[in-house]
Structure formats: structure tokens, C-alpha cells
Structure 1
Amino acid sequence: MARVKTTRKKTAPRSEEYSYNVGWSEEDDAYIARVLEFPSLAAHGNSQANALREIRKVVDIVIKDLTAEGEPVPVPFGKRRYSGRLNLRMSQELHRRLALDAELQGVSLNTLINTRLAFSGQ
């Protein structure tokens, strides 16, 4: 599981700054809203708008509680900064195969991996 980036700044993020996902749940017979930065939170509603409104209320409460307790608050994805550097571990066999592919294509290993990752997301 990924580590959650947090902040202890005096001005906490607002609920509108977080990343939400709303989908239909057959099991619950309702729309379920989740927030990426708070993976344990969810709320439901009889429409997408209601579910989103409810999860934002929950996020507001959680932010207030965390701030009041001096606990770190997750940083919204939109405010996070990424260096573009990633230390990746892989098996020796995969490393060897990728290095050979890069050599055959006449590109660096970094370029090969970047290209493959970019195309895998399409």
C-alpha cells in the first residue's frame, strides 16, 4: 500500500481540493463516494451528487478532527509535487531483459521503461 503524503500546516486543505470517485453499488443499492487521499472513508447517497455531498461533509469533519488533534492531514493530489525520479526494484531477470531490449532498440534503459509505461496507460 502506498504511503499517504501528509501535512501539519496551520491552514488545512479544504474538502473541495481532494480527489473523489463516485460509483453505483448494487450491493448497497446506492451511489458510493470515496476520496483517494483518505482511503478508509466512504459515503453513500441516492444520487451521485448526494453521495459526493456526503463524502465532502465527512472529509470536512475528519480534517477538523485531525487539525484539532495536531495530527497530519493528507495533502491533496493536486497540491503534491513530483520530482520525476523513481527508484524502482525489479527481478534480475526482468532487468536483464529490459536492458537487452533497450540495447536492441538503441535507446537507454530509462527511455525504454518510460516509453513502455507511457503506452501502458493509454
Structure 2
Amino acid sequence: MSTLEKKQLKEYLERPYNIILKAIHDEAGQYYAARVLEFDGCIATGETKEEAYAAVSEVLEGFIEDMLEDGDPIPEPIGDDQFSGNLRIRMPKSLHRNLSQAAKLEGVSLNQYLIHKLSK
């Protein structure tokens, strides 16, 4: 790995990628799994949250290193600034009618009604 690639690797590793930790209970026992949301297949496990986090950080470093060497594009971290809060969906007219009627019965706007239902 060249000096430039090492510098780029360090810069990428400082970015706020989203690491998701999850407790797992299965036939193998109890452990933690960690994955990096922006990188498909960037997964590791550990007996504790800290071990899983450290392990997935090492895997992430390997992913980025390989991508730099191969000249592949490296994903940007997913942050809140990438979401506008707007969502446009299409639905059957009958569903639209039913939802609008339900919102009217509740005395709220269709938007408020949908947000309430989706947040449950």
C-alpha cells in the first residue's frame, strides 16, 4: 500500500460510518454481531459489544484498504442530512380513501395520521 493510500485509508476510517451492534442468542450461544451499514458484508462478531465493535472496525479497515487498492468507489457515511423528511408514495385509490376517512374520524390531517401509524 502506497503512502497516499495509507493517508486516504486513515481519512476514510475517521469518517462517521454507521456501526450497528446487535445481541445474538442462538445455538452457538450468546454473542454480539456488528456490521457497517454502508458496506455490504462488513460484519464481525465478539463475545462483548466492545469486542464486536473492535472486530468490525478491523474488517472495515480491510474493506477500505482493498477498495483503495482496486480503485473502487468508497461509500460515503449515511447521515441525517441525506433525508429531507419527504416521502412520495403511490397507493390504490381505495386505500387512499380509507386512510383519509380514518384521519377525518380522528380529527387529524392525513399526513399526521400516516406519521402516527408508521411510527408504531
* TM value normalised by structure 1: 0.67
Is 1:21–2:25 an aligned residue pair? no
RMSD of equivalent CA atoms: 2.7
| Most deviating of 57-66 and 37-46 | 37-46
| Most deviating of 92-101 and 22-31 | 22-31
Contact 2:42–2:63 (CA under 8 A) maintained in structure 1: no
Distance 1:90 1:100 in 2: 15
Bigger Rg over Cα: 2
More helix by percentage: 2
Contact 2:21–2:32 (CA under 8 A) maintained in structure 1: no
In the TM superposition, what is the alpha-carbon distance from 1:88 to its structure 2 partner?
1.6
Is the alpha carbon distance of 1:74 and 1:36 closer, same or farther for their aligned partners in structure 2, counting shifts above 3 Å? Answer: same
Contact 2:21–2:49 (CA under 8 A) maintained in structure 1: no
Contact 1:33–1:52 (CA under 8 A) maintained in structure 2: yes
| Most deviating of 55-64 and 83-92 | 83-92
In the TM superposition, what is the alpha-carbon distance from 1:86 to its structure 2 partner?
0.6
In the TM superposition, what is the alpha-carbon distance from 1:106 to its structure 2 partner?
4.1
Q: Which runs of 5 or more residues in structure 1 are unaligned?
A: 1-9
Tell me how many residue pairs correspond in the alignment: 110
- Structure 1 residue runs of 4+, over 4 Å off? none
Identity over aligned pairs, percent: 33
